[in-house]
Amino acid sequence: MTTTDSTSAPHSQHLQEARWLTLTAAGVQLQLDLDQDRPRIAHFGHTLAVDPATQRLMASAATPQASLDQLPPNTLFNDAGSGFAGQPALSGDRDGQDWLSDLQLADVGCRHDAQAAHAHLTLRDELSQLEVRLSLQLTAEGVLRQQTTLSNQASRPYRLEWLAAACLPLPVRYEECLTFGGRWVQEFTETRHAIGEGMFALENRRGRGSHQRVPSVIVGTRGFSEQRGEVISAHLAWSGNHRVLVERQFDGSTQLQLGALLLPGEQTLAAGESITTPEVVLAWSDSGINSASQRQHAALRARLDWPQSHKPRPVHVNTWEALYFDHDAARLDELVVAAGDVGAERFVLDDGWFVGRDGERAALGDWYLDEDKYPNGLDPLIAAVHAQGMEFGLWVEPEIVNPDSELYRRHPDWILGLPGRDQPLGRYQCVLDLTRPEVGDYLFARLHALLAEYPIRYLKWDMNRDLTHAASQTGEHAGRPAAHTQVEALYALLARLRAAHPEVEIESCASGGARTDHGILRHTHRVWTSDCNDPHERVHIQRGAGRFLPPELLGDHIGPAHAHTTSRRTSLAFRASTALFGHLGLELDVSRLDHDERAVLRGWTERYKALRGLLHGGISWRLDCLDPHQQAHGVVSPAGDEALFNVSQLAMPRHALPASQPLAGLDPTRRYRVELLKLPEHPERRMKALPAWIDAQLNQGETLEASGEQLMMLGLALPVLDPDQALLLHLRACD
């Protein structure tokens, strides 16, 4: 069952005389001390009755020697004018002047509705003529959202270097942080760091989101885990350059900042002009990462804009690893029939369908159907797809152009680049300058034409290279950095397309999981989590992505037995049981499977369909395991009457016998029937005897029944598993 308190409706209160602001929702509370016109966090955690005067007396700290006579406060917007010596939340200047700001509270407002408790804090510096507005929302799910708006109120331009979307003071007891990085086919690699004196910062300068730097961090008490410790998870809803930093001063005061990273000269505010940062999403928990993730999931689910809100997430078949660029009509017909036979519900035609696209070096940008491959258009293929009970989807990569393309030959100035400098290629590609209206208009026209002509219900929107030399080549901004506005232009193009075709779902794919953030998900409905379909790697990848995104948004496909990205071979049972905990698809040539293999695969797609209501509407849990080579996770229904858990063994077990595994999220007062859905092959190689509850199910037909409390406190005896094997446990309340 969820750890959030849904009975606590959003509420806000501003005690003007006491200089105190409180936001409360879902059992979480943010209390701000506004004394001395510096907004400080007095409390962020469970709902708590606090007397402002008493709290100030209790919290007012000593002043050490060899420091300023009064230490600068650690606030929601640290700046140098208060004497703060760390990274300021704002950096910029006017021709070398006004580089120091001293922003103080000038106005406070708050309100609440069914969705959130809202507050705004206006900070002003009369000398530098800068104004900052901090917008805070504590949502009905107990998630804190923050954005920052900077206004230049002077007559001269202000050159902006850094503006934190959120500047969060952290308790000194927070001593560790968890970051997410990796590389292609190994996304969301988790690294734990000790928080020591000084600054720890991670920056993404690749223009789009990247495999190497995910705009997320989890900070907390020492040794925090899935189910233990106090944490704050923080995510920047932005698909471009970004910075995440944690800094601790000599006195122990600690701050967390997240924001969009600006290139030199990228943002200059004219007189009277303003800029608003991307949003930061923060979730607090005192029971480990799980509760923070659950709040993140719930808040994101509440904002998703589905074409059909109650439509189950359909089983995909994607043609890439089956066909690559070989769009042969007979092969396609075989694949469509086989896809329908194994239970697929959506058929996605991947790269290679448009004119001149016979390999990866040419034709991107020329979004016209290849009439040699499809002499009668896409209608015959779509009719065949519909005849198998599937809907049709199409792959596109609109942001990219090949130099070997008609579009590039007509408009070489349409790419991001710097005149006089060679543009490095990435996968034989350049990036189109979406900030130019004519480029956006061209792309919209081509995609609109395809969606208007054919019943396409899904776009797989890919993006396969980083941005370099990210500048417009012509116009008033020629030579100026454009990475930030490129992301804004992408969002605008997606919004325009969604408005014209609201029935179409869009997937965000970027060489796999290089763009998987809440910002892109304001305009899309799924992310392609990784190009790696090897379940051994996918267990780690999905765990990291699942810290911030719910399962139904994570594209997760069953690949072939031999994974082309790792050369590892795995069983269908391990591939399928791993892929269940996402949005299931098939990334293999199902037409090459024999009758028995198709039957087994069909069984897995039917299992997914039976369980997807639970998987995509339930509450996700990750379990602490004693064996470092083991991963366990599950989903529990909101009512606590059903659950599905997976235990994966990724390397040789730590001990000859695994420790009993406690479950989580169940109703302690109810009894559950525990069913093992599938035992891995050849258990006799590892065990002379199975655990008693499994033996009773397999040989006597007797299913274990136990209380939720017993299952969570004492756990289940597990069988010995080989590396790359998994167990699936299905629980149903029996009272």
Residue 117 lies in a domain: yes
Q: Which of 531, 627, 667, 724 is catalytic?
A: 531
Whether 209 has a pLDDT exceeding 90, the answer reads: yes
Q: List 282's β-bridge partners, or say none.
A: 144, 234
Residue 51 lies in a domain: no
Whether 578 has a pLDDT exceeding 90, the answer reads: yes
Confidence of residue 7 (pLDDT cuts 50, 70, 90): low
Mean pLDDT of 427-434: 97
Nearest Cα neighbor of 177 from 165, 161, 194, 200 is 194
Mean pLDDT of 18-29: 98
Q: Which of 79, 350, 366, 462 is catalytic?
A: 462
CATH of residue 678's domain is 2.60.40.1180
Concerning whether 351 is annotated as a catalytic residue, the answer is no
Concerning whether 531 is annotated as a catalytic residue, the answer is yes
Residue 515 lies in a domain: no
Mean pLDDT of 132-151: 98
Structural domain total, the chain:
2
For the chain, report the end-to-end CA distance as a whole number of angstroms: 16
The reported pLDDT for the residue numbered 371 is 96
Residue 108 lies in a domain: yes
232/146 Cα distance (integer angstroms): 14
Mean pLDDT of 695-719: 97
Which one of 303, 337, 369 terminates a domain? Answer: 303
> pLDDT (tens digit, 9 = 90+) per residue, 277-286?
999 999 999 9
Q: Could you tell me which residues come within 8 angstroms of residue 421 by beta carbon, excluding any fewer than 6 positions away?
A: 469
Residue 510 lies in a domain: no
**3-state per-residue secondary structure call for 326-391:** CCCHHHHHHHHHHHHHCCCCEEEECCCCECCCCCCCCCCCCCCECCCCCCCCCHHHHHHHHHCCCE
Domain that holds residue 112: 74-303
The reported pLDDT for the residue numbered 477 is 84
Edge-to-edge strand list for the sheet holding 20-25: 11-15, 20-25, 28-33, 40-46
Residue 595 lies in a domain: no
The reported pLDDT for the residue numbered 440 is 98
Which one of 287, 303, 319 terminates a domain? Answer: 303
Three-point CA angle 561, 566, 568, nearest 5°:
40
What are the CA-CA distances from residue 297 to residues 90, 483, 543, 608, 688 (Å)?
Answer: 30, 29, 13, 20, 42
326/74 Cα distance (integer angstroms): 60
Residue 132 lies in a domain: yes
Whether 3 has a pLDDT exceeding 50, the answer reads: no
- Average of per-residue pLDDT values in the chain: 96
**3-state per-residue secondary structure call for 256-316:** EEEEECCCCCCEEECCCCEEECCEEEEEEECCCHHHHHHHHHHHHHHHCCCCCCCCCCCCE
137/513 Cα distance (integer angstroms): 28
Residue 347 lies in a domain: no
Q: Look up tokens 């966090």; give the residue.
A: 41
> pLDDT (tens digit, 9 = 90+) per residue, 497-524?
999 999 999 999 999 999 999 999 999 9
Nearest Cα neighbor of 23 from 144, 167, 138 is 138
CATH of residue 144's domain is 2.70.98.60
Which one of 280, 303, 326 terminates a domain? Answer: 303
